[in-house]
Amino acid sequence: MDRYLIESPHELKDCARLLQQLKAMGYLYNFDWGCKAGVHIGWAIIEAESEAQARLAVPPWVRSHARIVKLNKFSPEEVNALHGE
């Protein structure tokens, strides 16, 4: 399983609907929000088999707007190797 960042932008008028659906889907606690700061984006990091599977964590009507990024860590050895380039 890989880790994916989900970034789900939405409009103020859609907040309640999105939150209710994520609650129903069981993903509410996976997300952090910028809504109260006026930034209507939800972020979550979840484990999934693929980008497509990660995308299923948001409701269909916001799915095409969601940005999904596969995450990786760098080991100290990898950083050292990069430094030498």
Number of residues located near Zn ion, criterion CB under 5 A: 3
31: β partners: 44
Stretch that binds Zn ion, among 8-16, 44-52, 62-70, 76-84 (CB under 5 A): 8-16
40 lies in the binding site for Zn ion (CB under 5 A): yes
35 lies in the binding site for Zn ion (CB under 5 A): yes
Residue that the structure tokens 């380039």 belong to: 85
Measured from the CB atom, the residue of 22 and 48 that comes closer to Zn ion is 22
Amino acid at 18: L
In whole angstroms, give the CA distance from residue 80 to residue 73: 14
Measured from the CB atom, the residue of 63 and 70 that comes closer to Zn ion is 63
Stretch that binds Zn ion, among 20-28, 34-42, 57-65, 72-80 (CB under 5 A): 34-42
24 three-class SS: helix
Residue that the structure tokens 């269909």 belong to: 60
